[in-house]
Structures are given as C-alpha cells and as structure tokens.
Amino acid sequence: MSSVATSSTVMIDGRIVPAERAVISVFDRGFLYGDSVFETLRTYGGVPFALREHLARLQRSAERVFITLPVSPGILGEELLRAVQTQGSPECYVRLSVTRGVGLSLGLDPGLAQRPSRVVIVTALSPLPDRMYAQGIAAITYRADRPGESVGASDAKIGNYLVAVLAMRAAHARGANEALVEDANGRILEGATSNVFAVFGSTLVTAPDTTDILPGITRAHTLRLAQALGIAVELRPLPKAELTAADEVFICSSIRELLPVVRIDERAVGPGVPGPVTQLLLRAFRESTSQL
Ligand SMILES: Cc1ncc(COP(=O)(O)O)c(C=O)c1O
C-alpha cells in the first residue's frame, strides 16, 4: 500500500535515500527528546514558496535552542530544491528538519551531541477540499501553553509539537478542523498549527510577533498583501471573547494558505459564512503564488 513512508522523496544529510529505508537512529535526540527544529513549506508549480524566509526562520529557531546548522542555509536550500526536483510533483509538501543528532550517551546534556542530522521529506501535496475555502471550517478554543513559551523560544519552530497534536485531537473529536490556543491570560494568539486573524468591520487584527506566537511566513505575507490592498491593520492580542465576536476570522499557514473559520466552539462567526475581507485576501494570496 502506498503511504507517505513509501511514496515520499527523502534526503538525509544531503543524500537521497529510498523512502522505505529512510531511517534515523533511535538514539537521535530528535526522537528521544524532540530536540530539533524544522520548517514546513509547500511548492507551487515546483517552486518552493518563500524558501528564503523559511531558511531564515530555521536558522533563527536553531539559534534559539543552540543547535548549530550542519551546513549553511544556502546549502540547505540547494539540497531542498534537489529533493523537490527528484520528487517531481508540481505541488509538494516539504518538511525540512534538523535534529541535534546522536549523543555520546543518553544524558540530556546537549554537549553530548556533536553532529546534527538533517532530513528533507518531500511528498505530493493533498490539497484541502475547495469546500473548506468556500464554506469555511469550524474551530474550537483550547487552553494550553505553547512548549517554546516557558523556555523563551516561542518564535522558534521546535520539534516538540505534542501540544498541537493534542489540540488537534480535541478539535477533531468535536468535529472541528483547528484549535485556537487560549493562553493563560485568556487571549487567542494563534492556532495549533496556524496564525489567527480577525476582522472587525474592515479592520484586520492579529497578534503582534512580540507575543508568544510562531511568526508565520504566511502571516507576514498576508500582512503585506493587506497593506498593498489598503486594508487597515491592528497588531494586538485578541481576548477570546473579542475573537468570538468578530465579523470574520481566518487562520493561515504554509500548507492551508488562508482558511476561513465560520464556527468557534459551535457558535457562528458573524453570519457563519466566509466574509469579504477573508475572501479578498485569499484571492490576493493565490494570485501572488500563481506568479511563482
Ligand atoms: C504554531 C504555529 N503557528 C503558526 C504557523 C504558521 O506558520 P507558516 O505560515 O510559516 O506555515 C504554524 C505552521 O505550522 C504553526 O505550527
């Protein structure tokens, strides 16, 4: 049977390896402790979207957790392009991970690991159904602290995604597609694996990147599009009560682009259908990616 573990193109430490034999040691600290950083991105017509930004974020994530990238971001980018070309699909899902590698012993001390591992996985993208963009999705709110928060690395994309995994599980159990994470102060700063925007009248609001969010590449691109379209933007954290009373809400991420949220905790957002500002931005986003 075809699965991601057989149909993907995999590159480990710069070498393409058959997917079914693409293995990392059980002693790798990425496996043992989630001691790793990563990026998820996608291609349009075979071209990775915002590759430079993703590589810059990977480098920053690595610095935050004191992992030295094994090769320069430029070489990582070249390797990633080679893996994308080998895979051959125009629309790909790409994951680039760097782990701290194998330690000399099982101890936690990061100094025990001398050689970080790098892995690129490229797989044909299964796009979300059009219906989700046309009709919007349901989301839940989910109270949690992000794993990076307590160690001052909220803006790093670190390997430990257990909070997001459990938040997504809770969302699916309630028939929803995303969990909007509520912090200790009752604010919704981002989704389990997305950034969150709300629209009040014609003003777009999202949490500033000085709060505990992963500064999304799609979020940054959306803000630039909003500016180009003359849409007023406010960067401020959104209390849950305010978010749920917004006229429009959408989430965004590299894989899902901009996705309207029409229900939160079983209650309609605005009239319960994707709103005009969301649709305008989604159209603009797709136009910009079609020009790659
Ligand atoms: C916690 C979190 N926030 C935001 C995002 C969106 O980031 P990007 O637009 O760079 O994909 C993601 C993506 O996976 C994420 O995991």
80 CA distance to ligand 1 middle (Å): 19
Work out the average pLDDT over 191-210. 97
Kindly tell me if the per-residue pLDDT of 150 is higher than 80: no
Banded model confidence at residue 198, pLDDT cuts 50, 70, 90: very high
The string of pLDDT tens digits covering residues 9-24 is 999 999 999 999 999 9
Domain coordinates in residue numbering, the chain: 4-124, 130-290
Q: Which CATH number fits domain 4-124: 3.40.50.10320, 3.40.50.720, 3.30.43.10, 3.30.470.10?
A: 3.30.470.10
Q: Is the CB of 40 inside a 6 Å radius of any atom of ligand 1?
A: yes
Q: Give the CA dihedral 118, 47, 51, 35, nearest 10 degrees.
A: -30
Q: Is residue 91 within 8 Å of residue 76, measured between CB atoms?
A: no
Does the active-site annotation cover 240? no
Instruction: Name which CATH class applies to 130-290.
Output: alpha beta
Closest residue by Cα to residue 76 from 8, 143, 13, 29 = 13
pTM summary value: 0.96
Banded model confidence at residue 152, pLDDT cuts 50, 70, 90: confident
The string of pLDDT tens digits covering residues 207-252 is 999 999 999 999 999 999 999 999 999 999 999 999 999 999 999 9
**Helix, strand, or coil here: 196?**
strand
Identify the pLDDT of residue 1: 55
190 CA distance to ligand 1 middle (Å): 9
Mean pLDDT value across the chain: 96
